[in-house]
Structure 1
Amino acid sequence: MYKLIACDLDETLLSDDTHVCQRNRDAIMKLQQLGVKFVLATGRGYISVQNTLKELNLAQQENEYVISFNGACISENKNNHVLNFNGLEHQQAQKLYQYGQNYDVCMHVYTKDMVYVYNMDEDERNYMSGRHAYKEIDTDNLDFLKTEDIAKVLYQNTDQEYLHMLAESMGELGDQFDISYSSNRYLEFNKKGVNKGEGLIWLAQQLKIKPEETIAMGDNINDLSMITRAGLGVGMQNSNPAIKPYCDYITEADNNNGGVAEAIEKFVLADRRG
């Protein structure tokens, strides 16, 4: 019997218009009536997912949770209370920021409540619209963030081969981080050992839920850690082909047609009816 579902947002729960389709909303509402936890597990910050929580009637709810920044933060929805935060050291973020200036990338630096973006083009502005609040910067260092908690840093380029080449060329610098890829445009850097899978297991332990009683749903490389750690790993039809062999189930529906609901109906709701 599954008691907790951790679900990615972009290209998984959300349709391409950045909203939750009605089929997904209906299925998640039924989960809530059964007492099954539905937890957003995202690379975004917890502040930036409030509209999605409102669509799911989970905003400002006690005993409901979000795994954000690829697992660097776990928070309770009521008052966005942070339960656990495991971000980058400022020196680590500084090294990544200065290294990235030598390459053809846009960079995002995530604090708890803002994304600072360097070298942003119009395509990235369009992609970020409706997903994140952000501020564009042109500084050559991150000294202005010395007193801020930094969750993660990412590099953006729509050429995935270029991002993989860049990661492979980083040598000892890259070895200091937990590296993942998302949205077919991002190379992401978290503190070593920090990822969605570890976030899922941490939260499950706090709730006294066994790993085998969890489901993880996603579509890309940064979801792989939780897909492989959960009791059931679900990939969307539109998932990056690289993660599909690791999934226990691939939905027939994509993110625009209720792939998340399909999995909920098949593995949770049908079981409860039976």
Structure 2
Amino acid sequence: MIKMIALDLDNTLLNSKMEISDMNTKILKKLHKQGKKIVLCTGRPINAIWDWLNQLGLMSEDDYSVNFNGSLIVHNIDKKPLMADGMKRTHFKNLHDFCVNNNFPLDILDFSGLYPISDLPISGYEKRFGTSLRAAYTPFFKLPEVDYSKAVICTEPATIDQIVKTLPKQLKEDFHIVRSQPMILEFLKPGIDKGSALDLLLRHFEWTRENLMTFGDAENDLEMLASAGIGVSMANGTPEAKQTANHVTALDNNHDGVADFLETYFATND
């Protein structure tokens, strides 16, 4: 029986206007009311998804979200972490050197805000989150000694293509690296991903992967698509997402693909 439904946001639950449609909202609120856990899984911090959590009514005592692509699990109602697994500044030294040598931008995030690295070109990453994400422009070697959730290179898709092809072996060993958007390459702690975070959340509820349904579309969703009893790629998903999932929606994210799949599945299953 499916007890938890975990959903990526960009190009999955969100349409191209960055909205959760009325139909998607209706079916998810209905399933939540019936006792299903609805878990938003995103690279964003909790403040950046707060309005969507409220729109879906995910504010009961047992509601959680997965943030920063798996390095943080948050108890929605009070924003307290169930799990936070971060890195120290020194972990990013090789990545910073790589960006310096190639004149790439770099943003490093802790568990509440963003540090655009000011001794490098400034990226457009901050603009994607507006006022929901505190930004402190800081040189790399003056970053505070706190725990960090991830680093991001945000630049033109063609430049990201080239970076992916030329990443040094050392960086591949230092990080779990995923391309979450055409213009965004993310650097996470090894072993951290949405799938590992959902495994921890399932254990919290004493459930198994057979109780999990996931929806995703991109590289940073592959682990959670592979680990779920029902892994669902969007019709607009990447070829890798479709290959990894065991189902593909009939409709894309701009045509209520999530709602259409959920209505069909729960009408005949569970």
| TM-score of the pair, normalised by structure 1 | 0.89
- The Cα shift of 1:82 comes to 0.4
How far apart, in 1, do the equivalents of 2:176 and 2:199 lie?
17
RMSD: 2.0
Distance 1:125 1:225, change over 3 A: same
For structure 1, the residue ranges without an aligned partner over 5 or more in a row are none
DSSP-derived class of the 1:120 partner: coil
Counterpart secondary structure, 2:78: helix
Query: Which residue in the other structure is 1:227 paired with?
Result: 225
Distance 1:269 1:51, change over 3 A: farther
Verify the 8 A CA contact 2:226 2:245 in the aligned structure 1.
yes
- 8 Å contact kept, 2:216–2:241: no
**Which residue matches 1:120?**
122
In the other structure, the counterpart of 2:95 is: 96
Count of residues in Structure 1 that have an aligned counterpart in Structure 2: 265
Equivalent-residue separation in structure 1 for 2:182 and 2:101 (angstroms): 21
What residue number does 1:65 align with? Answer: 64
What SS is found at the alignment partner of 2:65?
strand
Amino acid at match of 1:216: T
Show the counterpart of 1:214: 212
Residue aligning to 2:19: 19
The corresponding residue for 1:9 is 9
Tell whether 2:43 aligns with 1:43: yes
Equivalence for 2:200: 202
Partner of 2:174: 176
Offset at residue 259 of structure 1 (A): 1.4
- Structure 2 unaligned segments of length 5 or more: list them: none
Deviation at 1:95, TM superposition (A): 3.3
Whole-angstrom distance in 2 between the partners of 1:44 and 1:131: 13
Q: Is the 8 A contact 2:112 2:134 kept in 1?
A: no
Alpha-carbon separation, structure 2, partners of 1:145 and 1:269: 52
CA distance in 2, matches of 1:255, 1:130: 23
Contact 1:13 1:20 (8 Å CA) reproduced: yes
Higher relative contact order (CA 8 A, sep 6+): 1
CA distance in 2, matches of 1:105, 1:236: 31
Task: Note the C-alpha offset of 1:39.
Answer: 0.2
Q: Tell me the distance in 1 between the aligned counterparts of 2:20 and 2:126.
A: 22
Percent of aligned pairs sharing the same letter? 28
2: distance between equivalents of 1:79 and 1:2?
A: 26
Distance verdict in 2 for CA 1:39–1:261, change over 3 Å: same
Deviates more, 1:16-25 or 1:85-94: 85-94
Q: How many angstroms does 1:97 deviate by?
A: 2.8
The whole-number CA distance in structure 1 between the counterparts of 2:109 and 2:178 is 15
- Pairwise CA distance, 1:150: 0.6
Alpha-carbon separation, structure 1, partners of 2:266 and 2:92: 41
CA contact 1:93–1:152 (8 Å) conserved in 2: no
Alpha carbons of structure 1 residues 101 and 270: separation in structure 2 relative to 1, 3 Å = farther
Letter in 1 for 2:110: T
Partner of 1:52: 52
Q: How has the CA–CA distance of structure 1 residues 220 and 142 changed in structure 2, closer, same or farther, with 3 Å as cutoff?
A: farther
Amino acid in structure 1 at the alignment position of 2:64: Y
**Aligned residue in 2 for 1:271:** 269
1:137 & 1:202 partners in 2: Cα distance? 33
Q: Distance in 2 between matches of 1:230 and 1:131?
A: 34
Between stretches 104-113 and 9-18, larger displacement belongs to: 104-113
1:94 CA displacement: 3.7
**Residue identity in the other structure for 1:116:** Y
Distance between the aligned counterparts of 1:88 and 1:95, measured in 2?
A: 13
For residues 243 and 96 of structure 2, what CA distance do their matches in structure 1 show?
Answer: 34
